[in-house]
């Protein structure tokens, strides 16, 4: 059983990592505990993931990666950020193959923003706040419901976008405490919803004959299909699905799911926009390999997709070896 002392030790360790002297306010700890009850703190800690330091946990691009990115974008017309261009959900990438790194950001046109790296963007994100754009600079401010950053903390990115949906940023104003990243930190994001060409290039793992047996804890998190569809599978057996960048604000479909052997069944709820209440979809022959889930649609009362082979890539969350290593 994790005690309050254990929790404080974990926060203290993360604070030391980012060289902060800020103490976590008691109100903030309360929100952290509520969030941890949703995700299962012990499982997240065992996977090496902490909800605090969601920004500081990201690593700097290596010099070779920065140089390669500069070469790749040297002949591309870069666009300045605007709320319209930023609207949607973005996945941070790194490495030569630009693999997703757990961190997701959702920008809304009205200036709202959310960050998360535990697969909880649509339920209890680590950071909730707002952003503003001036020229090539995006300035963020954490709100009172944020878990990873103190209310009122601010930071800023210098940003540019490509026509195909890639967002390149450099930290020009740093946050404090657990939102401190380091001036000059450079990140690359791809828009995953709505669909973009950059997002569609996120690679799936190679298929296997059987893969890992898909237990429910392995499935929780936010999954991505190359057409811009996001699927959130919650630890409470609820799901949300959306392809318009509104997974956490106004999803197309939501309801309940269950995993039985290698079969995944979805039942739409009354709040679903695109599917009738009670509509059932069934995927069989589930194969789970590293970050990729595959299955075949055998029943679909919502859309005509029977017979389709589904391939989904885990962007954030998950709880089996190899995902959070």
For the chain, the domains span 1-197, 216-317
pLDDT computed for residue 169 by the predictor? 97
The span from the CA of 114 to the CA of 204, in Å, is 25
21 CB neighbour count, 10 Å cutoff: 8
In which residue are the tokens 């926009």 written? 273
Give pTM, 2 decimals: 0.78
pLDDT computed for residue 63 by the predictor? 42
**Same fold: 1-197 with 216-317:** yes
Q: How far is CA 121 from CA 19, 59, 127, 186, 243, in A?
A: 26, 20, 9, 22, 15
CB distance 114 to 106 below 8 Å: yes
In which residue are the tokens 């969350």 written? 317
pLDDT in 10s for each residue of the chain, 325 residues: 444 344 334 333 333 333 333 333 444 444 444 444 344 433 333 333 333 455 654 544 444 454 455 445 444 689 999 999 999 999 999 887 778 889 999 999 999 999 999 999 999 999 999 999 999 999 999 999 999 999 999 999 999 999 999 999 999 999 988 889 999 999 999 999 999 999 999 988 877 666 666 667 778 999 999 899 999 999 999 999 999 999 999 999 999 999 998 999 999 999 999 999 999 999 999 988 878 999 999 999 998 899 999 999 999 997 543 343 3
pLDDT computed for residue 143 by the predictor? 96
For domain 216-317, give the CATH superfamily. Uncharacterised protein PF14869 family, DUF4488 (2.40.128.490)
Longest dimension (CA), the chain: 56
- DSSP assignment of 289-315, as one string? ETTEEEEEEEEESSSS-TTPEEEEEEE
CATH code assigned to 1-197: 2.40.128.490
């Amino acid at each position: 059983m994790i005690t309050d002392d254990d929790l404080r030790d974990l926060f203290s360790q993360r604070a030391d990592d980012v060289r902060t002297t800020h103490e976590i306010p008691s109100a903030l700890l309360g929100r952290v505990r509520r969030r941890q009850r949703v995700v299962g703190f012990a499982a997240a800690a065992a996977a090496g993931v902490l909800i605090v330091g969601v920004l500081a946990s990201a690593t700097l691009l290596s010099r070779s990666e920065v140089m390669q990115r500069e070469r790749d974008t040297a002949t591309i017309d870069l666009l300045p950020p605007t709320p319209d261009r930023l609207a949607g959900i973005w996945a941070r990438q790194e490495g030569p193959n630009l693999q997703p790194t757990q961190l997701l950001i959702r920008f809304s046109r009205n200036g709202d923003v959310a960050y998360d790296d535990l697969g909880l963007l649509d339920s209890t994100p680590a950071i909730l706040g707002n952003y503003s754009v001036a020229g090539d600079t995006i300035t963020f401010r954490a709100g009172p419901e944020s878990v990873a950053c103190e209310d009122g903390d601010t930071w800023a990115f210098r940003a540019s976008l490509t026509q195909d949906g890639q967002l390149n940023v450099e930290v020009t104003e740093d946050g404090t405490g657990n939102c401190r990243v380091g001036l000059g930190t450079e990140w690359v994001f791809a828009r995953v919803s709505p669909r973009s060409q950059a997002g569609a290039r996120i690679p799936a793992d190679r298929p296997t004959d059987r893969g890992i047996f898909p237990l429910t804890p392995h499935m929780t998190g936010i999954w991505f299909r190359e057409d811009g569809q996001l699927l959130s599978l919650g630890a409470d057996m609820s799901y949300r699905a959306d392809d318009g960048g509104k997974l956490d604000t106004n999803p197309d479909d939501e309801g309940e799911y269950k995993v039985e052997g290698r079969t995944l069944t979805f039942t739409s709820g009354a709040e679903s926009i695109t599917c009738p209440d009670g509509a059932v979809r069934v995927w069989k022959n589930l194969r789970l390999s590293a970050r990729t889930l595959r299955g075949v649609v055998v029943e679909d009362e919502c859309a005509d997709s029977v017979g389709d082979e589904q391939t989904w890539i885990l962007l954030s969350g998950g709880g089996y070896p190899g995902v959070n290593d």
